[in-house]
Amino acid sequence: MKAIQRMNPDDHLVSAKELKDVVAFGRKCSKTAFPNPTREGCPERARLRAMAHRDPRLTLEDLPIAHIVRCSPCFQEYLHLRRMSLLVRGLQITAASLVVLAVFVTAVLFVKDRISGRGEPSVSQQKQQRSEPQPNVVTPRPAVPVSPIPIKIDLAAFSPTRGDEKQDSRKKLHLPQKLLRVTLQMPLGMEPGEYLVRLKDSAGTDYADIRALGRINDGTTSVEVDLDLATASPGNFTLMIRPPGLSWRRYPVVIE
């Protein structure tokens, strides 16, 4: 572990190859070579998940590599999460190519239509003609089970804390245990720019750590982030937001 760390002294970012090596090594050692029924010293599931998703912000120190290769339950869990991550990515690619296909077919139909039809159709006719063939193309089967649910949160309605003060008495954000596309509407006066958004569980472990661009529209800045809460355990979380040039704001969240 120490040796691996020294190999990468500048940024400690984990390369895909290093992770592959871990998996290959683990496979060699078999899945049951290191039973750990009491799960002693096991890392948080969130950390395994981040590792399985190849979170590019992870550093080697963050990764429980040394533990995983010596703990069969963790190793199996990692393999499982990794498979899920690849599966989700595969589905996203499938969804994207379906959209491309749909747009392409629609364009072809539209061009054919214009060539065969006499005269210039009006704009409204064009729109109708374009949208009509689409449903047949897009829905060969509902192969897109993982499209995020859009949610809008007006943070002006919630009061943040800047330190570690008690949060019990305050209004909590309730989020469903789903894949979400959250639009965070910032309180008035918040500048557009780079926002940092984190979601921590009650143990203080990062569940999500996202950089996003705050855009201003009609005087209010909003930030859009995707939060995959499908695998989050229900309970109390803390949503942390750092507007550009300002300190962290904390909002209590309940995932249910």
CB 65, min distance to Zn ion, A: 12
| CB nearer Zn ion, residue 66 or residue 246 | 66
Tell whether residue 180 is a contact of Zn ion (CB under 5 A). Answer: no
Give yes or no for a contact between 154 and 234, defined as CB atoms under 8 angstroms apart: no
Segment near Zn ion (CB under 5 A); pick from 27-35, 38-46, 120-128, 184-192: 38-46
Listed residue (12, 84, 13) closest to 48, CA to CA: 84
CB 67, min distance to Zn ion, A: 6
Listed residue (81, 91, 75) closest to 24, CA to CA: 75
Phi-psi region of 183 (alpha: psi -120 to 50; beta: other; left: phi over 0): beta
Q: How far is CA 69 from the centre of its chain?
A: 26
Q: What is the distance between the alpha carbons of residues 188 and 154, in angstroms, rounded to a whole number?
A: 10
Segment near Zn ion (CB under 5 A); pick from 71-79, 86-94, 145-153, 179-187: 71-79
Looking at 22, 63, 65, 74, which residue binds Zn ion (CB under 5 A)? 74
| CB nearer Zn ion, residue 45 or residue 242 | 45
Tell whether residue 22 is a contact of Zn ion (CB under 5 A). Answer: no
Segment near Zn ion (CB under 5 A); pick from 15-23, 36-44, 106-114, 231-239: 36-44
Tell whether residue 71 is a contact of Zn ion (CB under 5 A). Answer: yes
Tell whether residue 155 is a contact of Zn ion (CB under 5 A). Answer: no
| CB nearer Zn ion, residue 75 or residue 237 | 75
From residue 77 to residue 116, what is the string marking binding to Zn ion with x (rule CB under 5 A)?
Answer: ----------------------------------------
| CB nearer Zn ion, residue 43 or residue 214 | 43
CB 232, min distance to Zn ion, A: 20
Looking at 4, 23, 29, 42, which residue binds Zn ion (CB under 5 A)? 42
Q: What is the distance between the alpha carbons of residues 228 and 50, in angstroms, rounded to a whole number?
A: 12
| CB nearer Zn ion, residue 46 or residue 74 | 74
Segment near Zn ion (CB under 5 A); pick from 73-81, 88-96, 119-127, 168-176: 73-81
- What is the length of the chain? 256
Site residues (vs Zn ion, CB under 5 A): 42, 71, 74
